[in-house]
Amino acid sequence: RARRTATMTTLEDVVEGKDYNFPTEEQATLKYWKDTDAFREQLKRSEGRPEYVFYDGPPFATGLPHYGHILAGTIKDVVTRFACSTGHHVTRRFGWDCHGLPVEYEIDKKLEIKGKDDVMKMGIDVYNEECRSIVMRYSKEWEKTVTRTGRWIDFDNDYKTLDPTFMESVWWVFKTLWEKDLVYKGFKVMPYSTACNTPLSNFEAGLDYRDVSDPAVTVAFPIVGCELGASLVAWTTTPWTLPSNLALCVNPTFSYVYVKNPDGAVYVVAEARLSALPGATKKAKGGKPGALADGWAVVKKVVGEELRDVKYTPIFDFFAEEMRSTAFRVCVDSYVTDDSGTGIVHQAPAYGEDDNRVCLAHGIVVKGGALPDPVDVNGCFTDPVPAPFAGLHVKEADKDLIAAIKASGRLVDNARIVHSYPFCWRSHTPLIYKAVGSFFVKVESIKEKLLANNAKTRWVPSYVQEKRFHNWLEGAHDWSISRNRYWGTPIPVWVSEDGEEVRVIGSIAELEEATGAKVTDIHRHFIDHLTIPDSRGPEFPPLRRVEDVFDCWFESGSMPYAQQHYPFENKERFEKEIFPANFIAEGLDQTRGWFYTLMVLSTALFDKPAFTNLVCNGLVLAGDGKKMSKSLKNYPDPNEILDKYGADALRLYLINSPVVRAEPLRFKEEGVFSVLKDLFLPWYNAYRFLVQNVRRVESETGVKFNPRAPGQEPVNVLDRWIASSTSSLVTFVRTEMEGYRLYTVVPRLVSFIGQLTNVYVRYNRSRLKGKNGDDDTRRALAALYDVLLVLCKTMAPFTPFFAENMYQNLKRCLPDGGDSEPSVHFTSFPQPKADALDERVEKSVARMQAVIETGRVIRERNNKPLKTPLRRLVVAHDDADFLSDLQGELRAYVVEELNVLEMETCLDPLKYATIKAEPNFAALGKRLGKAMGAVGKAVKGMSVADVQLFQRTGAFAVGDVTLGPEDILVKKEFALPEGVTAEEMDAATGEGEVMVIMDIVVDQGLLDSGSAREFVNRLQKLRKSSGLQATDAVEVFFEVKAAGEKDAAEGMMRMLESEKAYLRESLGCDPKPIAAMAGDARVVATGECSLSTGAEFVATLAALKI
């Protein structure tokens, strides 16, 4: 039937929980924010407050946002919304990383560019403009997804690394470092991407390690002039470096052996690595090295130092003439280990950092001199390496090189090895190590300052700062910041032809003055042609710019300064107000990326960290634990999840996961659904219950509901409890958010929502529906209203949509607008009400819940359903205040929820239990070692008095060992009173050491009482199914069905008589036989019902005659 409408209502009606569509409602909220320009209005309203400084790490817009971006964006949004609600102004500018390999790689694929020659033929100007055309390819998709997730951030006032103002500040950063002597041009072996034709920094090389199968060859190098005809044997997983071999290296302290094989060949290897020679040793047993195989013999032993400068014959003669005077001899260095290989390492100084260092130290090559490097920028062999290797990519040439070595008789073994190998993070191709020229920042010279500045920051979780990041800083090398590429900020260094004069430019104005040209864009194709006159005179050729551009990590590390165009604009404000940042957040991978570059540059420039607080999140993986892959389709599309469950559910799912503690998360769609089911729906239902009953009260009384009306202060114990719990929640959330521990908030919220719905609303349902009169109902509604309003404001940073939706309705109750703001996001974070905090009532209600839960457990294990009343319940505990509360204001709730007739309390739990102590082996085992046996025996032998004393003091001494609360487990065991059997009584101990004892014997009177509850339940269901409201009064009639069991029917009639008072109170009338119903009565509903006793009846509800 049609629902009755009120003549006046404050709150708008809301649909049932099953009909509430979260995504649809969120879209309505998005429209409201857009129509009211809510984000900018929030910024405007908060102007003049202290600035809370947030830096947004710039993503590339050449790809679409994924769960990792949504996660980081959610963390950023939660923290900045909270900061705004706690009295700050928070500027939130989105940033875009527009330069570098990610963009160039896309263009290289599009235009099928294979290398530098292709770019030169096309022209850098054409190439760069192609890059410019795609940098914002997916910017609108980014904006759409970011906005849909509820994140408030400014896209209109964004910053882009390609803006001339940004690039100019990057120039200033570089020149400042140059002037501080923190930059140099060097030649180092570095990770090198052959696909992208550029070196990578060490931290970039660490971004993508994969397990790969590579050749592992063992090669012989005949010793020149050796009487034994011996060959030094080296092992390598990079055969392509052998054409450039210039030396071999041994450990000076290791023992090396000359070992002869059955064919008479003599090989030199480390004694500890004899097993590396195929067939040289017998199978090892018990972890010990195997003995020499039959036919093998050691003919000579030497220490590594004795092999120094021993000459050998190179495998390939490509550099034999050029390097004969210094190369092809043995070096010694302690970096050689004996855990793999042969204990002899082949040296190719152009392709290994240690190789380069060792060869320089031994004079094989000289600094600044020739360095054999027959590999071009594309990773292909070139002169003097001949066919068939010339033109092959080094990795592809391995097979042919191994064949050539075998043909020369120098191949001792050819195997394969699976090992972890670095790949280019952008092209996903294997890296090589190669000597290249680069500009470097002297990170090693400021290492102590970096460590000191790291200590000044707070990271969540802290272990990432204290271990991972600290260790990375400890081992940091000088940072390569230049790339031999095209689309990036050009390095502003102009050099004379002879290299004698170097000019570093720090601004556009300086460049214009030096060149006499007007400059509007400082990308390569606008400035590469500009020259600067040599200061030595016109007879010297002019200075020209070096070809390099900045690594894009240098640009993102410069963003605190460049986004403000510092120091050319905003200088005073920057230095006083907006540096360093209060907060940044990104993924764990940025430990060696953005977090690192921010710290290096801020330390080098200002000797302070660029941020004070950092939240580091882990990696979001597919449900199977693998990396999310578009090709594998092993994860649901983020937009589908948003459309299906809404952004709030996704936000809370991510925040309430290990990923916010920098651990990996296996993304599961059902996890998002669980958040909706377990948190949002109960929360919504509590809100809906309030709305229904406010509308009912207003409809019945004609008096508007005013939650701020005087005389509605909480009096009822549960009103006081929920008010205190709410204040405790607010205090907790504020404390945790100030500590940036987002992951602790959601579990506490889930617990609170459970208490609100399962305790407060459930236990007070009849009060809220008007059982105790209008005054008490309004008190209860005011208490529930305050909780929900405070919850909206507290959770607004976390669930911006749901909080807004609820707030828009709730604020209608506030008199004359009251303290309401147009949006929940304009309100201040709630302050805990000091007068509402009541630790005793919170503790007592928590223990009351433990009593009820424990009582339910006892009923269940004894097969005593809740509908069957039990005679007596005893609660035993040593806290007199709690027992007093339980027998006082809380008594009615326990009696009703557990359906018992009597409740007693006992201050001495030992009246119903024995206690004993057990050692906590998990806590004590490691600490005590062999003493554990004696201590454990003493703990188990503790008397009751000993245990009680331990419970009071928290300490127990066994000889010299003092045990604390975590070392001893005190266990209570139920002891039946004398003369009572287990069939008559049962007990259990719940949380907070609350012991519950129940009489479980059921007599006929108790059975009748249970049947009466069932009878009421059946009629309430009939009322609900017929659409009756709580205020709709009806008469109840019944007709016992003849087909039912005779005894059951008689039992039902007996029950109706004996439980008449209860039935009248519960139903609002006396149930009557159907024969008593008037002939003209208007029947509202009829239904067939049955009781668990077997009785069957037809119930009829008839409208009251007016």
Structure tokens at 1002: 């059921």
Q: Do residues 259 and 269 touch, judged by C-beta distance below 8 A?
A: yes
Q: Using DSSP bridges, classify how beta strands 549-550 and 329-332 pair: parallel, antiparallel or unpaired.
A: unpaired
Q: Do residues 64 and 138 touch, judged by C-beta distance below 8 A?
A: yes
Q: Using DSSP bridges, classify how beta strands 543-545 and 493-495 pair: parallel, antiparallel or unpaired.
A: antiparallel
Please count the other Cβ atoms lying within 10 Å of the Cβ belonging to residue 337: 14
Residues in CB range of 387: below 8 A, 6 or more apart: none
Q: Do residues 53 and 582 touch, judged by C-beta distance below 8 A?
A: yes
Q: Which residues pair with 532 in a beta bridge?
A: 543
DSSP state, residue 365: S
Q: Which residue has the tokens 């059921």?
A: 1002
Long-range contacts from 427-430, C-beta under 8 angstroms, 24+ separation: 427/101, 427/105, 427/193, 427/195, 427/196, 428/208, 429/193, 429/194, 429/195, 430/212, 430/395
Residues labelled as active-site residues: 58, 97, 553, 590, 594, 627, 630
> How far is residue 958's CA from residue 712's CA, in Å, rounded to a whole number?
57
Residue type, 889: E
Q: Which residues pair with 256 in a beta bridge?
A: 270, 302
Helix, strand and coil content of the chain, in percent to the nearest 5, comes to 45, 20, 35
Residues in CB range of 1033: below 8 A, 6 or more apart: 1068, 1069, 1104
> How far is residue 628's CA from residue 829's CA, in Å, rounded to a whole number?
37
Long-range contacts from 401-407, C-beta under 8 angstroms, 24+ separation: 401/239, 401/240, 401/242, 401/243, 402/215, 402/217, 402/239, 404/316, 405/217, 405/219, 405/239, 405/242, 405/315
> How far is residue 857's CA from residue 773's CA, in Å, rounded to a whole number?
35
Torsion (CA) 973, 978, 979, 984 in degrees, nearest 10: -30
Q: Do residues 819 and 810 touch, judged by C-beta distance below 8 A?
A: no
3-state DSSP of 60-122: CCCCCCCHHHHHHHHHHHHHHHHHHHCCCECCCEEEECCCCHHHHHHHHHHHCCCCHHHHHHH
Q: Which residues pair with 1072 in a beta bridge?
A: 1037
**Listed residue (689, 1017, 996, 716) closest to 849, CA to CA:** 996
> How far is residue 644's CA from residue 638's CA, in Å, rounded to a whole number?
10
**Listed residue (766, 742, 546, 741) closest to 654, CA to CA:** 742
Q: Which residues pair with 1040 in a beta bridge?
A: 1097
Q: Do residues 581 and 557 touch, judged by C-beta distance below 8 A?
A: no
Q: Which residues pair with 475 in a beta bridge?
A: none
> How far is residue 1043's CA from residue 430's CA, in Å, rounded to a whole number?
83
Structure tokens at 674: 């669980």
> How far is residue 115's CA from residue 378's CA, in Å, rounded to a whole number?
7
Q: Do residues 994 and 885 touch, judged by C-beta distance below 8 A?
A: no
Q: What's the chain's Rg over C-alpha atoms?
A: 40
Q: Using DSSP bridges, classify how beta strands 247-250 and 458-460 pair: parallel, antiparallel or unpaired.
A: unpaired
Backbone φ and ψ of 82, nearest 5° = -60, -45
